[in-house]
Structure 1
Amino acid sequence: MTSKDERLAFLEEMKDVRRIRKANRAETTTPKELTPGHLERQRAAVDMPVRDNNPLTSSMVEPLTARDVLSWQRPGVQHGVFKKLRLGHYAIEARLDLHRMTVEEARREVFSFINDCVRYGLRSVIILHGKGERNPDGIAQIKSHLAKWLPELDSVLAFHSAQKHHGGTGAVYVMVRKGDRDKQRNREIHGGH
């Protein structure tokens, strides 16, 4: 078959085919009319407040200054363990920097960070909160809130202001509780029940 014969055969096969006049695209314009269902969903979304699962509170915070030392431990944390934390002897596995954040942004970040630490099995972390020295009133806002927030989180076992080389009173070492997966792994390794 020559190319001329092929072309004629092709045209013969295609003789009944008609061109599509409408563009071959999906309709992406939104309908102008709002349906009753749409209006109801919109009303429900406005009426229903967004549920905040973050337990950290922002009220009644004791004001702290640049030089104040943060120090807290949950009952049951061994003295030697707390001392090692205080002296910065544990390797820092993660850090969170709260500089230049609002109190609300810091509240969300701290809650999320501590949850991530538990999820990924990180036990010794540092949070950089700043000293608040530039604040006209001398109050370290983020530091003051952090001192209240950390004990509110069950996953936090202890915390202490960092050593000078890690930021001093502008940072805090945090000891995080083991997650369930890590506890189970320890039981398997050490034969506990």
Structure 2
Amino acid sequence: MNEEEKKLFREFVGDVKPLSEPGHYSKIPVDRNSPALVSRRMAAVKEEGSKDNFLAGEEHVPRVMPLDTLSFKRDGVQHGVFRRLKQGHYPVESSLDLHRLTVVQSRRDVLGFVRDCVAHDIRCASITHGKGEHRENPALLKSCVNYWLPQLCEVLAFHSAPRHSGGLGVTFILLRKSERKKEVNRLRFSDPRPSE
């Protein structure tokens, strides 16, 4: 640095004094129970617990009304298959009831339930979430289920159940085949003739 740069540097730094010992810093006491530190700890614990569950919490969920019909179909799902799901023609092999659960509990259970169903070769399942008509937050769980299910690649389609099967408080889900089941079908329907 030349003299002019040193002068500018001293003006900029002003009355700042260098540390007395190199490599030593003055430690500022930290309040272990400060609100900022407590909230950072809570956020870290919450994030740690949700690493395997990517589904959004209730604050990010677009709301549906208690009497709305839930409906979703991925590209590639045949119209006839979806119609049979809507009409309740597929046997429900497993069901999950979310009544009296919080959103956090429901989020965990929905993800686990869908993954368990696929692992056990269950193709059609149902989730009972209720309509939530007379709640402080109407249709909260219903809204969450409607938002979460399309995020799960295992879910091919879903639709609110027909009236005789629970109506608007129940959602039927069509799940993809497990890898094991796909392999069984490949072997079953492969051409048995030897190639020439």
What TM-score, normalized by structure 2, do the two folds share? 0.71
1:116 aligns with: 116
The structural deviation recorded for 1:111 is 0.2
CA distance in 1, matches of 2:142, 2:87: 19
Report percent identity of matched pairs. 44
Q: Secondary structure at the match of 1:174?
A: strand
CA distance in 1, matches of 2:108, 2:70: 20
User: Structure 2, unaligned stretches of length 5 or more?
Assistant: 1-43, 192-196
The structural deviation recorded for 1:134 is 2.1
The structural deviation recorded for 1:124 is 0.5
CA distance in 2, matches of 1:142, 1:68: 13
CA distance in 2, matches of 1:150, 1:136: 24
2:98 aligns with: 98
Report how many aligned residue pairs link the two structures. 146
The structural deviation recorded for 1:49 is 3.7
1:49–1:105 CA distance, 2 compared to 1 (3 A): closer
What one-letter code is carried by the residue in structure 2 that aligns with 1:91? P
CA distance in 2, matches of 1:92, 1:49: 34
- Does 1:186 find its partner at 2:157? no
1:81 aligns with: 81
2:174 aligns with: 175
Deviation >4 Å, runs of 4+: none
CA distance in 1, matches of 2:49, 2:161: 36
Root-mean-square deviation (CA, aligned residues, Å) is 1.8
What one-letter code is carried by the residue in structure 2 that aligns with 1:65? M
Q: Give the number of the structure whose alpha-carbon radius of gyration is greater.
A: 1
CA distance in 2, matches of 1:180, 1:169: 32
Deviations 1:62-102 (A, max 9, x none): 11221010000001100000000000000010000000100
User: Structure 1, unaligned stretches of length 5 or more?
Assistant: 1-45
CA distance in 1, matches of 2:100, 2:164: 21
